[in-house]
Structure 1
Amino acid sequence: MKNNIIHDEWKIIEEGFNPENNRISESIFSIGNGKMGQRANFEEQYSDDSLQGTYIAGIYYPDKTRVGWWKNGYPEYVAKIINSANWIGIDIQIAGETLDLAKTKIEKFRRVLDMKTGVLSRNFVATMPGGQKVEVKSTRFVSIDDSEIGAIRYSVKALNFSGEITVTPYLDGDVKNEDANYDEKFWTEISKEIKAEEGYLTLETLKTRFQVTTGMWFSVLKNTNKVDGKPENAIREKYIGASQKIQVEKGDELTVEKLTATVSSLNHPKKQLVLQAKKAVKRAATAGFDKLFANHKNCWLKKWETSDIKIEGDIAAQQGIRYNIFQLNQTYTGEDERLNIGPKGFTGEKYGGVTYWDTEAYCLPFFMSTAPLEVAKNLLLYRHKHLSKAIENAKKLGFNCQAALYPMVTINGEECHNEWEITFEEIHRNGAIAYAIYNYINNTGDKEYLAPHGFEVLLAISRFWSQRVNWSAEKQKYVMLGVTGPNEYENNINNNFHTSYMAVWTLKYTLEVIDFLKKEFPFLFEELIKKWKFNEISETTVWKEIIENMYFPFDDENQVFLQQDGFKDKKLIPAAELPVKERPINQKWSWDRILRSCYIKQADTLQSIFWFEDDFSDDQIKRHFDFYEPLTVHESSLSPCVHSILAAKIGYEKKSYEMYLRTARLDLDNYNNDTDDGLHITSMGGTWMAFVMGFGGVRVKNNRLVFNPFLPKKWKAYSFRINFRDAHLEVKMERNGFTVVNHSNQKTSIQVWNKQADIEGNKHVKFKNSK
């Protein structure tokens, strides 16, 4: 499906229907509003290959782990944001035959996702087996203004016949997950009711006992006039529907407006769910489709005011960055600290819709810089809320003294990842959570978050690191054994540079935070010492010994830190020499072959260098990039963004642009041949970083926003918005200079190409291009 999407600045456009690409398109055209989301399944029937997906944030099922062996500490279940009731369904029958795009001749198929307004539309002409030709138009959205509401406008026009058309709007809760470990369905029915054009279906999850009520109201118009007659209602297990049969003449058009509500026990008492659904449906019906859409559209326009990025001269790059921003904004709104960001968001079943380290490493910067402060803060509070579970998780693995190991995968704080080499060994995730606290405070200046939330998390993580290392009598150094770094093509290795570096950095930063609290919050710090039984002298003495004596494997020949012990025992063959037919290796090679190869899935050693670039000289960064990037196959969606930023840092502008385009269009062009099971939402945060931190050169240093921008040769200009400590700035890079406009009343200080300036509220300043 490479380059199957038509390039457009604000729209994602698909011309023509190819069943082989259907699942890919279902992912690409997904819509959501932070509380729920949906793959771009058809309203009418489709009996060919499809992954139906409607997902509700926070509603999950603990699917019992399926493994052939068991080890202490192994998670008992895999948490999954499960497929929920299908609310978009509208069956169409023409002269008794069901409209099914797998069984009709399709002409003029066009699907469009308008990113500016958050609406999905589709139109096509289909010829039924009986020869009847119809034109279908559909428009739908999930409201970002009223997050419980979904709306559809669906029309069928008789092009060459007169006869009977039956329309059946319905709700169907008899759904399943393709990735169910034991092929079970996760929902049981609690209640259902339907009367005329209004109905409600309440379901409950097995085990977790979440309840969700889905409601609908609809009307049918014929050539803009409401159709008379009472619908014929249908009820069966987990299903309600209402059918209307309408006689049409050639040229007549029927329009169904279907307004739905989805409410859950996550936000309402179970006994009130049906009542709350009825209130939501009434809100929607009273407003009507057009008013609902107008409110929804206005909310999207406000989001774009603070998060849009504009590129002049490169439509493919422009479409890519807006698509990434659009998906981030419709996946997470930050209104609920119980929610987080799944790697696939609401677009597919892979990874279960649960939280990885991706949030802290790749998504937090976007929300810190484009949304209100509370949005990013809620991502940190999510982890603080789960601290007790992280301590329990570490205890299961043999750690004590309230040490914390945050889960690799979670929905409620418990570990629920089902691969041992990740569950037990990919512990660098602890460092990512610690770094997120630093990153948030460095960007926002909100140091009060440390007292007590940030400190409590840092203390527990530091206790973990101090117990996780071993003293090597042979090396006379502390070592980190049996780990998996970000490069998951290496398992159970010793002394992974990134993991060890994160451990040392976390200990250093926690010591700094302790000094800060003792100075600024002395009484609170005394309370925290008692609460956490913190023996400052004895514990920090151990930390300092580890900091001074951690072992990092180093290659004297190439003057680079090695990714882990024994990395050079492998034959180092550049990835560029791999035959095309063998790429991607994760789909073409055996796991044994991958583990014995030199190939790197994503930034590993370079991940540390990206986060802590000030610890390394430009020459050191260049040496490490030149050594590791040629060995990297970039088969993680999280890989290109980090390499793009580092390439920009060392002046590799061509490579920076190449990696940016790869991350920006990863899903639109199905680059890794895996878009069919959902989009790569968290890597989209990395795309934003690649643009702003790479091309814009944005950093925060010494409480000042710093820019070191450059303009790719293919572009005429670019601009982006960024929030920084109550100041809202718009920056524009052109061939002849760099302009910063302050759209707020807050005065702020910036640095551009080593030149410092203060910008008063509602003023601007321009810098001549030094390159």
Structure 2
Amino acid sequence: MKKYLKEHEWSIIEEGFDPENHEVSESVFSIGNGHMGQRANFEETYSGDSLQGSYMAGVYYPDKTRVGWWKNGYPEYFAKVLNSTNWIGLNIIIDGEELDLYQAKVHEFVRELNMKEGYLQRTFVAELQNGKQVKVQATRFVSIVDKEIGALKYDITPINFSGTLNLTSYLDGDIKNKDANYDEKFWDPVNTWINDNQMSVTLKTKKLDFHFCSTVETQIFINGEKQKISAKPEEKLKFTSLNYDLPLTKDVTTTIYKYAANVTNRDHDTDRLETVGKTVLSQAVAKGFDVLKQEQADAWALKWRDSDIIIEGDVAAQQGIRFNIFQLNQTYTGEDERLNIGPKGFTGEKYGGSTYWDTEAYCLPFYLATADQEIARNLLIYRYNHLEKAKENARKLGFSKGALYPMVTMNGEECHNEWEITFEEIHRNGAIAYAIYNYVNYTGDQSYLGEYGIEVLIEISRFWEERVNYVPAKDVYMMLGVTGPNEYENNVDNNWYTNRIASWTLEYTIEVLDHLKATDLELYQTWIDKLELKPEEVNQWKDIINKMYYPIDEERNIFLQQDNFLNKEIIPVAELDKKHLPLNQNWSWDRILRSCFIKQADVLQGLYFLNHEFDLDTIRRNFDFYEPITVHESSLSPCVHSILACQLGYKDKAYEMYLRTARLDLDNYNNDTEDGCHTTSMAGTWMSVVQGFGGMKIRDNQLCLNPFIPGNWNSFSFKIVFRGARLMVQVDQEKVTITNESNTPVDLHVYDEQHKLNGNSTLQVAI
């Protein structure tokens, strides 16, 4: 863990430049708008370590799998979101010397991500090797109003000299992914053009035929007045540039504007991309930088109105939660059902930008409670649209029926190539089923079950039916050779969480079938006929439910991670020398697998998902056993511990785990933020506040709140949308105040007492 960022309620601020922190900052200060994103690379040349990253949502490449030992069933590729044309690039040469902060002496450096208004700004004074000093202020954003537009403003002011500036504004499409398996470049050239102060690069992927066109206009102002300066154009393969020679006058500011239109054939006809790019760009240029920036601020104000969490009395906690909410809102907007949420968002290339089970397990609750219902529905429809691919995935692994959703995917096809995950981490199927339950339970949208949900549930249940192993000698069903969410144990038998989520899926599928039969017999029969579901198949599911084997330790009265878990030496993490942490960067894989240490919540994941099935004593016993041996080296782990600790009244532990998840990237807890921020786990941070400290649950179609407040907070508040009602929940050390900001009345429980809150009214309850 390394803390170097200034604590601030609304901004992420880095004061002073240290190249050792630069790649972490490139991740943390990333910007995006759901359509595209940009790491916080410098506009000007930087010769130190850096990952230049500009990413377009939904544009990916099937990079050939690289494994040492091929196994039947392996996917042939690992899908990767592509590093795309660098549209921000500027080469700055001052009196013959290139501006490069890795070479220059850097003074007064401040980098700020303004989360309230949605822009990135950087100021510094650079002293070149010849002693000349320039002051620079660079501001940029990608618009959440005009999703295909990016804009930057770059001010240069000489401090102690007058001279000349040679400026090159460029588009560079000759780039590659850092994570390319064979160091291959994934783009082929299509076209380039330059016209006056505009230039364009169009590329296409070597496979899948994605086309991407970036069109840029560059404008020069000196002392606030627009300049008419002829530029020297240059076109190369996948590259265009405009070169300007400009005077520099002491204390006079030269301003460079770049407006970029980034369009793809996901949204437009391929043969019209360049025309569309020109049109989009002209509309942005007509507005101008200041208008675009004000529109950005206004749009972010609306997002914060609906999703902000306010914490009084703890700036670190406040900054952490807003950073998490900011990244979620700029990663996924829900407007395009073809898109999903990559574990790194637009902040880096690790995990390929693909879809994992993170979306269903962690992200869905955030969008359920803070956005229009259709956005969460689109996340489910994304998986429904991949059902046929999920059935193909199951066939590839030798199953005769059912659907196995992929661990990693872009188009529904499995593209992960580690056997213990690809073949064994099948608990992900349960997360898809649970997401359907979670959505319907929260929204009350029963129609989703009859339209889409029941088909997915039946096919997942069919997979579980075939995947279990019946043991006649014990008359039980077991699940052999699996990997649970805790990936620090592979190829185990009877992982408790996997067994339970499989059995629960069967239970819920039968429950939905019964519901459809009782409420719409014609629709029920349509699905029975279409899917050829026989009564004996449902009876088989019931037998599995009744005879599923769960490993337990009777002495401690806890659920075991898996068979024989207690054969390991149980050592608390607190007794480890800190030099060993994180384990995954200091221990061999063999040593990790033989240890008791848990990467992330596993048994506790099940207790969180199926919380209504277990009493507090059961949750407490399991939490008390597993929490001390969990190293939280998955970003998905701390939030589950925080929520359960809140439920158990472990206030200090709840706060510790909250701060860890909220500031995971800001403080680089796991020493890996340079690879990109842990975007999907950020939704878990939101859950830690709303479901943890707020105690929010849905029981029997009613909203339940059971809030408590950490001792060092003066107050906290959050907003949720529940079945048409928008509620503001405010908690201080004495009372809970719930304000219904809509016209829709809502029934709710607060501390187990029933209340009816009419539209535009307020309820106060003593804490």
Same fold, judged at TM 0.5 (above): yes
CA distance in 2, matches of 1:71, 1:383: 27
Instruction: Establish whether residue 518 from structure 1 lines up as the match of residue 517 from structure 2.
Output: yes
Write the distance in 2 (CA, Å) between the matches of 1:133 and 1:531.
74
For the residue of structure 2 that corresponds to 1:180, the secondary structure is coil
Q: Residue 196 of structure 1 contacts residue 232 of structure 1 at CA under 8 Å; is this kept in 2?
A: no
**1:679-735 CA-partner distances (Å, limit 9, x unpaired):** 000100000001111100000111111000001000011111000000000010012
Matches of 1:684 and 1:650, distance apart in 2: 23
Q: CA deviation at 1:73?
A: 1.4
Distance 2:509 2:203 in 1: 46
Farther-moved stretch of structure 1 (518-527 vs 728-737): 518-527
Q: Are 2:444 and 1:452 equivalent residues in the alignment?
A: no
Residue 50 of structure 2 aligns to a residue in which SS? coil
For 2:198, the aligned partner's letter is: E
User: Could you tell me how far apart the structure 2 residues matched to 1:4 and 1:69 are?
Assistant: 42
SS state at 1:452 partner: helix
The separation in 2 between residues aligned to 1:256 and 1:682, in whole angstroms, is 35
SS at 2:83 equivalent? coil
Distance 2:519 2:244 in 1: 70
Q: Tell me the secondary structure at the aligned position of residue 746 of structure 1.
A: coil
Give the number of equivalent residue pairs: 767
Which residue in the other structure is 2:428 paired with?
429
Task: Quote the offset at 1:415 in angstroms.
Answer: 0.1
Structure 1 residue runs of 4+, over 2 Å off? none
* C-alpha deviation, 1:182, in angstroms: 0.6
Specify the code of the residue in structure 1 equivalent to 2:229: G
Report the AA paired with residue 130 of structure 1. N
Q: Match for residue 585 of structure 2?
A: 587
Q: Distance in 2 between matches of 1:61 and 1:295?
A: 33
CA distance in 2, matches of 1:322, 1:105: 33
Task: Measure, in 2, the Cα distance between the counterparts of 1:653 and 1:743.
Answer: 30
Match of 2:414 in 1: 415
Match of 1:548 in 2: 546
Structure 2 match to 1:439: 438
Asked if the contact 1:602/1:632 (under 8 Å) is kept, the reply is: yes
Match of 2:563 among 562, 565, 581: 565
Moved more, 657-666 or 230-239: 230-239
Alignment of 1:301-320 (within 5 A): 301-320=301-320
Aligned counterpart, 2:575: 577
Which residue of structure 2 lines up, in the alignment, with residue 711 of structure 1? Answer: 709
- CA shift, 1:360, in A, is 0.3
Question: 2:7 aligns to what?
Answer: 7
What secondary structure, in the 3-state scheme, does the structure 2 residue paired with 1:241 have?
strand
Residue 700 of structure 2 aligns with which residue?
A: 702
How big is the shift at 1:527? 1.8
- Residue 691 of structure 2 corresponds to 693
CA distance in 2, matches of 1:297, 1:727: 26
> Who is 1:619 aligned against?
617
> Offset at 1:67?
1.1
Q: Does 1:134 align with 2:134?
A: yes
What amino acid is aligned across from residue 15 of structure 2 in structure 1? E
Match of 1:198, as an amino acid? Q
The equivalences for 1:474-493 within 5 A come to: 474-493=473-492
State the one-letter code of the partner of 1:429. R
Aligned to 2:26: 26
Equivalent of 1:606, from 604, 607, 611?
A: 604
Matches of 2:109 and 2:21 in 1, distance apart?
A: 13
Q: Tell me how far apart the structure 2 counterparts of residues 222 and 452 of structure 1 sit (CA, whole Å).
A: 60
- Which residue of the partner structure matches residue 359 of structure 2? 359
What secondary structure is seen at the aligned counterpart in 2 of 1:342? coil
Distance 1:204 1:167 in 2: 29
Instruction: Tell me how far 1:452 sits from its aligned partner.
Output: 2.5
Which residue identity lines up with residue 286 of structure 1 in the other structure?
A: A
User: 1:474: Cα distance to partner?
Assistant: 2.9
Deviation at 1:5, TM superposition (A): 0.7
Take 1:249 and 1:568, find their aligned partners in 2: how far apart are those partners? 74
Work out the CA distance in 1 between the residues paired with 2:587 and 2:733: 46
Q: Is it true that 1:212 corresponds to 2:217 in the alignment? A: no
Alpha-carbon distance in structure 1 between the residues aligned to 2:336 and 2:642: 32
Q: Which amino acid aligns with 1:527?
A: T
CA distance in 1, matches of 2:301, 2:39: 23
Q: Which residue of 1 aligns with 2:248?
A: 248
Structure 2 CA distance, aligned partners of 1:267 and 1:452? Answer: 27
Q: Which residue does 2:499 correspond to in 1?
A: 500
The one-letter code of the counterpart of 1:174 is D
Distance 2:418 2:239 in 1: 37
Task: Give the C-alpha shift of residue 188 in structure 1.
Answer: 0.7
One-letter code of the match for 1:594?
Answer: I
Q: Name the CA distance, whole Å, in 1 between partners of 2:278 and 2:375.
A: 30
Provide the residue aligned with 1:734 in structure 2. Answer: 732
| 1: CA distance, partners of 2:43 / 2:629 | 45
The percent identity for this pair of structures is: 57
**CA–CA distance in structure 2, aligned partners of residues 732 and 206 of structure 1:** 53
CA distance in 2, matches of 1:294, 1:218: 20
- Structure 1: gaps (5+ residues): none
Residue number among 720, 743, 746 corresponding to 2:744 in the alignment: 746
CA distance in 1, matches of 2:181, 2:731: 51
1:757 maps to which residue? 755
- How far has the Cα of 1:101 moved from its partner? 1.1
The Cα offsets for residues 164-223 of structure 1, whole Å up to 9 and x where unpaired, read as 112221110011111111111011110000112111110011111100000001210000
The residue matched to 1:135 in structure 2 has which SS? strand
The answer to which of 661-670 and 473-482 deviates more is: 473-482
Q: What CA RMSD, in Å, does the superposition of the two structures yield over aligned residues? A: 0.8
**In the aligned structure 2, how far is the partner of 1:448 from the partner of 1:191?**
48
Equivalent residues in 2 for 1:275-314, closer than 5 Å: 275-314=275-314
Alignment of 1:182-201 (within 5 A): 182-201=182-201
The match for 1:157 is: 157
1:546 corresponds to which letter in structure 2?
I
Residues 463-485 of structure 1, C-alpha deviation per residue, up to 9 Å, x if partnerless? 00000001112322100000000
Distance 2:364 2:251 in 1: 52
- Residue deviations 1:408-444 (CA, integer Å, cap 9, x gap): 0000000000100000000000000000000000000
Aligned to 2:87: 87
Partners of 2:334 and 2:148 in 1: CA distance: 16
| SS, match of residue 113 in structure 1 | strand
Looking at structure 2, the residues matched to 229 and 328 of structure 1 have their Cα atoms a distance apart, in angstroms, of: 41
**Offset, 1:23:** 0.3
| Residue 115 of structure 1: how far off its partner (Å) | 0.4
Query: Are the aligned partners of 1:468 and 1:480 in contact in 2 as well (CA < 8 Å)?
Result: yes
Structure 1 letter corresponding to 2:73: G
Paired residues of 1:606 and 1:625 also in contact (CA < 8 A): yes
Please state if 1:269 is matched with 2:274.
Answer: no
Q: Which moved more, 1:519-528 or 1:117-126?
A: 519-528
Shift of the alpha carbon at 1:65?
0.3
Q: Which letter maps to 1:16?
A: G
Find the counterpart in structure 2 of residue 658 from structure 1.
656
Which amino acid letter does the alignment assign opposite residue 415 of structure 1?
A: E
**Does the alignment pair 1:325 with 2:325?**
yes
Matching residue of 1:226? 226
Partner in structure 1 of residue 681 of structure 2 = 683
- 1:273 Cα offset (Å): 0.3
Partner of 1:102 in structure 2? 102
> Is 1:368 equivalent to 2:368 in the alignment?
yes
Distance 2:419 2:12 in 1: 39
Letter in 2 for 1:171: L
CA distance in 2, matches of 1:228, 1:405: 61
Q: d(CA) in 1 for partners of 2:434 and 2:351?
A: 23
* Kept after mapping to 2: 8 A contact 1:169/1:218: yes
Q: Point out where structure 2 has 5 or more consecutive residues left out of the alignment.
A: none
**TM-score for the superposition, normalised by structure 2:** 0.99
